[in-house]
Amino acid sequence: DAGVIQSPRHEVTEMGQEVTLRCKPISGHNSLFWYRQTMMRGLELLIYFNNNVPIDDSGMPEDRFSAKMPNASFSTLKIQPSEPRDSAVYFCASSLDRGLGEAFFGQGTRLTVV
Amino acid sequence: AQSVTQLDSQVPVFEEAPVELRCNYSSSVSVYLFWYVQYPNQGLQLLLKYLSGSTLVKGINGFEAEFNKSQTSFHLRKPSVHISDTAEYFCAVSDRGAQKLVFGQGTRLTINP
C-alpha cells in the first residue's frame, strides 16, 4: 500500500479564496483524522470520521472549515473563505482499529494564505 | 479531557550519548500511549506504543519507553543516539475505547557531533 496520500503537498492562496485539501486513506482503514500543525498550537485534531461518518468535529475552528468523506477512500477538508491565520501544515491520518492501534499519517499539505 | 505534557521543547545531546524525552499525561483512566517521530518535512511515524502488558515497551531505531501508571508518565529513552535521530518527537495518548489521539507539543531532539 502507498500509505496515506494527501494532495496537494503545498498550496499558496490569497486571502478570501476557497481551499480544498484532499486525502486518500490506507485501503481497509475505517477511521480517518484531520490534524493541523502550527508552531503556536502544535498538533490539533480537527475532525475524525469512523466508517465515513463524522464522529467528532469539536476541533474544527469555525464555520469556514468543513470536511467530508463521501466514501471509504476519499476525504476533503475545505476552507472557505481562507484567512492568513489558517496557514499551517494539515495532516490526514487513518487507522484500522477503534482506539487501539496506531494512526498512519500522510506527508501533509503546507498551506500558506497570503 | 485528556492532555499531554512534554516537559522539554528542545533537547540537545552529543552523538552516542543517552537521551530521555519526558512525557506526562493527565488522565487516570485506562489509556493507550504512543510515541511518534517527525523528520523534517515529513508526516509522523510511530516509534512505539503501549496498549497493555509489560510496562517497558521497545520500538524501532533502538528506542524504548516505560509506562508508569502512578506517575502518569511515559518517558522515551535511547542509550546511544545517532545523528539520524535528529527529529521532533511527539507523545500521544488515547482513552481506551476512544478514537481520539491527543498529542503533546513535541520535543525537538538535536544531535551534535
H-run or E-run covering A45: strand A42-50
Residue A45 contacts B, CB cutoff 8 Å: yes
In this prediction, residue A62 carries a pLDDT of 87
A99: pLDDT strictly greater than 60: no
Please name the member of A31, A35, A107 whose beta carbon is closest to the beta carbon of B99. A31
Which cell is B56 given? 517497558
* pLDDT tens digit sequence for A35-86: 999 988 889 999 999 999 999 899 998 899 999 999 999 999 999 999 999 9
* pLDDT tens digit sequence for A2-47: 799 999 999 999 999 999 999 999 999 999 999 999 988 889 999 9
Banded pLDDT at A96 (limits 50, 70, 90): confident
How far is the CA of A109 from the CAs of A73, A102, B21, B51, B86, in angstroms? 18, 21, 28, 30, 22
Q: Which of A30, A35, A34, A13 is nearest to A114 (CA)?
A: A13
* pLDDT tens digit sequence for B13-71: 999 999 999 999 987 678 889 999 999 888 899 999 998 888 999 999 999 999 998 99
Q: Which residue has the cell 545531546?
A: B13
Which chain B residues are within 8 Å of A103, Cβ to Cβ?
Answer: 46, 101
Which cell is A100 given? 487501539
Within 43-72 of B, beta carbons closer than 8 Å to A belong to 43-46, 49, 51
Q: Which of A15, A35, A6 is nearest to A112 (CA)?
A: A15
